[in-house]
């Protein structure tokens, strides 16, 4: 089985459309949508597009999906207003983890933050000691995650840990839509798309975060180094507040 891993779309429909066009040309056997799907400028349109796909699709729950499905205080209130009961039920149906037998890689675990939490932070700089704790009970040899929006592919605790990157809100060397193709190897990919056209469409939406998103997360984006340093600092703060588990 060959799998396209699309993570952290964040309601960026133009980015998703560009990636899906490339995925269609490559014709994998399945798509894993790795969470944080709707929280962004085009929540309903993004969900509709994914539900209309004719290939096998597995949906992994992200923290933003969980917050929207449960109408939790952390959810974006504007996005919540756009979603109907069926949308929230769909988000609530996402799986915490998915395991697929990928050609050339074997049993591969797809999760959002980590195998044990949709909010846990794993980065390319996470210490081997902490990764060993996080992955201690994982029988699969390949783990694909997201959440931090920075692609990486690294060995850890005898496993291979991959971040597929973010389709809709990446933190990388340059703008674009980032994702991963698995089987028989593993390829971290970047799809270019019409950023100015996307910016115009997003600004024309009624999303209150549109202008800031275009300025800070579309036309210009944080670098991978900046994001990694930020997330590692946040992970350290959490480790100091919570006992290791």
pLDDT of res. 240: 74
Average pLDDT over residues 1-9: 98
Task: Answer whether 12's CB lies under 8 Å from 168's CB.
Answer: yes
Average pLDDT over residues 142-163: 96
Instruction: Tell which wins on pLDDT, 240 or 71.
Output: 71
pTM across the whole model: 0.96
Q: Please give the helix or strand (H or E) that residue 99 lies within, else none.
A: strand 98-102
Average pLDDT over residues 209-224: 97
**56 φ, ψ (degrees, to nearest 5):** -65, 130
> Considering its fold, how many domains does the chain have in total?
1
Task: Answer whether 129's CB lies under 8 Å from 238's CB.
Answer: no
Instruction: Tell which wins on pLDDT, 243 or 30.
Output: 30
Question: Residue 199: which pLDDT band, with cuts at 50, 70 and 90?
Answer: very high
Instruction: Tell which wins on pLDDT, 239 or 174.
Output: 174
Average pLDDT over residues 16-39: 98
Domain that holds residue 61: 3-241
Average pLDDT over residues 155-166: 95
pLDDT of res. 243: 53
Question: Residue 245: which pLDDT band, with cuts at 50, 70 and 90?
Answer: very low
Pairing state between β 177-182 and 186-191: antiparallel
Give the model confidence (pLDDT) of 50-75 as tens digits. Answer: 999 999 999 999 999 999 999 999 99
**11 φ, ψ (degrees, to nearest 5):** 65, 15
Give the model confidence (pLDDT) of 98-146 as tens digits. Answer: 999 999 999 999 999 999 999 999 999 999 999 999 999 999 999 999 9
CA–CA separation, 214 vs 208, rounded Å? 12
Q: How far is CA 138 from CA 90, 160, 168, in A?
A: 27, 11, 29
CATH number at residue 190: 3.60.21.10
Average pLDDT over residues 27-37: 98
Q: Is the dihedral of CA 127, 131, 134, 136 positive or negative?
A: negative
């Amino acid at each position: 089985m060959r799998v396209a891993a699309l993570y952290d779309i964040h309601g960026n429909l133009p980015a998703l459309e560009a990636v899906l066009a490339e995925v269609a040309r490559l014709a994998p056997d399945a798509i894993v949508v790795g969470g944080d799907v709707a929280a962004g400028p085009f929540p309903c349109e993004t969900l509709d597009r994914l539900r209309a796909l004719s290939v096998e699709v597995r949906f992994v729950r992200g923290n933003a999906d969980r917050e929207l499905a449960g109408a939790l205080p952390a959810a974006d209130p504007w996005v919540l207003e756009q979603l109907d009961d069926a949308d929230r039920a769909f988000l609530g149906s996402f799986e915490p983890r998915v395991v697929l037998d990928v050609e050339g890689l074997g049993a591969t675990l797809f999760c959002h933050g980590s195998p044990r939490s949709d909010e846990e932070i794993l980065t390319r700089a996470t210490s081997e000691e902490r990764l060993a704790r996080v992955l201690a009970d994982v029988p699969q040899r390949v783990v694909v995650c997201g959440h931090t929006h920075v692609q990486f592919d690294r060995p850890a605790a005898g496993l291979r840990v991959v971040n597929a990157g973010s389709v809709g809100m990446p933190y990388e060397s340059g703008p674009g839509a980032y994702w991963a193709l698995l089987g028989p190897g593993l390829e971290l990919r970047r799809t270019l798309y019409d950023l100015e056209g996307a910016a115009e469409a997003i600004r024309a939406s009624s999303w209150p975060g549109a202008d800031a998103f275009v300025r800070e997360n579309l036309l210009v984006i944080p670098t991978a180094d900046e994001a990694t340093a930020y997330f590692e600092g946040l992970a350290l703060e959490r480790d100091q507040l919570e006992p290791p588990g």
